[in-house]
Structures are given as structure tokens and as C-alpha cells.
Amino acid sequence: MKTLRRYAQVYGALMRYSVIHEMQFKVNFLLWIVVECLWFGLQLAYMAVLYGHTESIAGWTRWQVVLLLGCNQVVQQLFHVFFVTNLSNLSELIRRGTLDLLILQPMNLRFLVSVKKFEIGNVANAGLGLVVIGWALAKLGQWPSALEWLGFVVVCCAGLLIHYSLCFMLACVAFWTVRAQGILWGYYNLFNIARLPAEAFPRGLYRTFFTWVLPMLLVSNVPARLLAGTLTSPGPLVALVGIAAACFAASEGVWRWSLRHYSSASS
């Protein structure tokens, strides 16, 4: 408990620093929120156009898909809040030699690399996703039970862990290539796939790949189906949690192997 309190205090200090730094550029902060909101609005408008010509897509009604968009928005924006900037910055830490200073700190190096910056602006955009989820549930005439909301939180956390672990492994490429930001942002752009129902894609290699290898569809679809009451078995929930644990274990192995190949800036 003492160790957890120490890490929580350090993380709290990092969060405060990030908020203070962001507030120095208030116009940029507000514009970022507006741009993200407009992009999310365009996604909703796109679905409105599609459902102006059909009643359902692969068995998903309009408001079920809006619910899916809201769930994807929450996971995507929280991923940005906690991890995206930090992982994309790993290559800069290596290139500039700043990683040497972090190695000397009396704390877990992976923790420092992963949470150094907190993107406060994306919290508002994640909140917008929650608003859309509530709106879609109201239109569906369904309100999940407390147990289903708890399950929603668990699967969203599992989804965040999956994205973090996979992105972290991609970031470790920087130990050999020095720059890896393009790879990471390429992964982040794959979130566009997650705004569609998995059933909308024909069975085959593409759907299997983005469900089980890069589980973009699994991470977004399971929370939406859980809240919509269309999840008929606990299998996808168990699979999501299991994949999250496996991905995290794999990322830890990749991280340790990468550190063994690291040559510091002073060597």
C-alpha cells in the first residue's frame, strides 16, 4: 500500500503539471476540443446518412450503431488521455538521451515512460462519448442494470489495456529505428474501423484479423452489445479480458528484451 500511495502521488503530480502546462495555451486547448467534437459529429452525421436509406446494417439498428460510436469514442479518447502522447514520445526520449535520466529515477521505468503526460483536453471528448451513450440508450428505451454498467467499465478497461499493450510494443521499435511515431499514429488511425459493427464485415481474413489479432472490432463491439442487451453469452467478455492479460504480458516481455538492446546516449 505504501508503494501504491507513492506511485499515486507521483502520478497526481504529473497530472497537475500537465494541466498547468496545457492551461498556458488555452486557445489551443479549446480548439483541440472543438476539432475533436466536430470529427465525432461528422461520424454521427455519416451514420445518419446511411440509416436514411436502410433500417439496419448487419442486424444493428441506427441507435445501436450510435451506441457503438459512443463506446468507441470513450475508449479512443481515454486511450489518448493516458497513453498516446507518452508512447509516441518514447522515440524522442531515446533519441535525445532523456531516457537515461528516467532510468536513474527510483521508480518503475515503464510507469514513467507510459504516464508522463496527461492529455486533459481529451477528457471532455470522452465525456461527450458518455453523453452519446446515454442518448442512444434513451432512444433504444433501455437502461442497463448496475451489473451491466460494472461489466461495461471492466471491458472498457480491458480494451484500454489491449490498445496500450499493442501500442507499447510498437513503440519499442524505436530502440532500433529511433523514430517510430508514424507507426503509432498509424495504429491510432485504425480506430476508424472500430466504429462499425463486426457483423458488417464479411467473414474471412479481414474480420478475423481485426477481431483477434488487432482486436479493434472486439474492443468496441463488446461494450456496445453489453449495454444494448444483445450479448447472448459471457464468451466475448472472457475473451476480451483474456486477450488484455495476454497482450500486457507480451508487451512486458518485449519491453525487457528491448531494454537489453538499449545503448544509452552516453555510451
**Residue range 20-37: average pLDDT?**
82
State the DSSP code for 141: T
Query: Which residue type sits at 52?
Result: G
Rounded Cα distance, 128 and 70, in Å: 8
Residue 156 has pLDDT above 90, yes or no: yes
Residue partners of 169: CB distance under 8 A and separation at least 6: 250, 251, 254, 255
170, 251 Cβ separation under 8 angstroms: no
The number of folded domains in the chain is: 1
Give the model's confidence band at 92: pLDDT under 50 very low, under 70 low, under 90 confident, else very high: confident
Backbone angles phi, psi at 45, to 5 degrees: -65, -40
SS3 60: strand
Rounded Cα distance, 202 and 204, in Å: 6
Domain assignment of residue 265, yes or no: no
Residue 267 has pLDDT above 70, yes or no: no
Residue partners of 120: CB distance under 8 A and separation at least 6: 18, 19, 22, 29, 81
Give the model's confidence band at 265: pLDDT under 50 very low, under 70 low, under 90 confident, else very high: low
Give the model's confidence band at 266: pLDDT under 50 very low, under 70 low, under 90 confident, else very high: low
pLDDT-above-70 percentage for the chain = 99
SS3 232: coil
Domain assignment of residue 75, yes or no: yes
What per-residue confidence (pLDDT) applies to 105?
Answer: 85
Domain assignment of residue 43, yes or no: yes
pLDDT in tens, 49-62: 888 888 888 788 89
Instruction: Give residue 135's domain range.
Output: 2-260
99, 57 Cβ separation under 8 angstroms: no
SS3 61: strand
**Residue range 86-110: average pLDDT?**
88
Domain assignment of residue 266, yes or no: no
What per-residue confidence (pLDDT) applies to 182?
Answer: 79
Rounded Cα distance, 219 and 77, in Å: 14
Residue 152 has pLDDT above 90, yes or no: yes
How far, rounded to the nearest angstrom, does the alpha carbon of residue 169 sit from its chain's CA centroid?
A: 14
Residue 179 has pLDDT above 80, yes or no: no
How far, rounded to the nearest angstrom, does the alpha carbon of residue 41 sit from its chain's CA centroid?
A: 19
User: Taking all residues of the chain, what is their mean pLDDT, rounded to a whole number?
Assistant: 87
More confident site: 248 or 209: 248
Residue 82 has pLDDT above 70, yes or no: yes
What per-residue confidence (pLDDT) applies to 159?
Answer: 93
Range of lowest pLDDT (10-24, 78-92, 121-135, 239-253): 10-24
